[in-house]
Amino acid sequence: MTRYLVVPQWQGSPSSRAMQLIDGAQAIAGDLPRSATTVLDVPMEAGESLGSGIHRLSALQRVNGLVAEALDAHHAAAPDEAVLTIGGDCGIALAPIAHAARRAPGLAVVWIDAHPDLNSPDSSPSGAFAGMVLRAVIGDGEPGLSLPVGTVAAERVVVGGARSFDDPELDLVAERGIAALTVEALRDAEALADAVLATGADAVYIHIDIDALDPAEIAGNAHPEPFGVTVAELTAAVTALRARVPLVGASLAGYSPASLAAANDDLGAILRVISVLA
């Protein structure tokens, strides 16, 4: 059985529509099994940067701690149940990846996103943590909002579907040996699994930002990038990966509908993606 942890965090987003991530998370929660779903009470305050270069750092640290506590409590009560964490912005993935890495030291992280989220506080053009999360996962980030170095090796990260890189992100991919699969590559259903197995990993965590999808597939996207994958292509790749590598955690983020009423137009596509993660 899969349990769902819904985290309507908005503080990591660079978008003027950041608060709509709350509506997106709540809309998804409304279509999940009530008995298997926990909606985290995310503080509404913006928080302070604390001189870090990360906007709203204090609020992000607080939510990260709440997510970690919720995952630890669930694992203590039901160690064999998987948890799918749903945002909110991509920052909600940090604590679940740390949790998965403790359970599976040979973990690979698959990051399916139109943007690779590999900026640092120094290189980020926005100061938004959502664009720094994956770099924090490999241990290169603000203390207190990044994983210890070595928790997830850069060589065990696979970025999929990214098509909007900043120059420092491109440099990091080359320098650290991060695998990056294009949208075209993902259209081969086995390519993602091949890339993960090539890292030598024996387990995988999958994070999906819905902006990896082509804008024609979903309207509720604050950062649309053209020429993305289709729902069918994405679900085929994830299904093939799960058939070959054990999944120990997953997250989905980035849904920001224009209104709660408009959310109904996209939920069919989102639930198809959730179904292959769950």
Which stretches of the chain score pLDDT less than 50?
none
Is residue 185 classed exposed, middle or buried when 0-12, 13-18 and 19+ CB atoms within 10 A define those classes?
middle
pLDDT of residue 223: 85
pLDDT of residue 17: 86
Spatial distance between the Cα atoms of 158 and 176, rounded to a whole number of angstroms: 12
pLDDT of residue 263: 85
User: Which H helix or E strand runs over 276?
Assistant: helix 267-277
Report which DSSP code applies to 114.
S
pLDDT of residue 1: 83
pLDDT of residue 6: 98
Token pair of 264 as six digits = 């109904």
pLDDT of residue 47: 94
204 Cβ contact list (under 8 Å, min separation 6): 107, 108, 109, 110, 196, 241, 245, 246, 247, 248
Is the whole-model pTM more than 0.85? yes
90: nearest Cα among 251, 221, 278, 266: 251
Spatial distance between the Cα atoms of 264 and 254, rounded to a whole number of angstroms: 16
pLDDT of residue 179: 98
Which amino acid does the sequence have at 221?
N
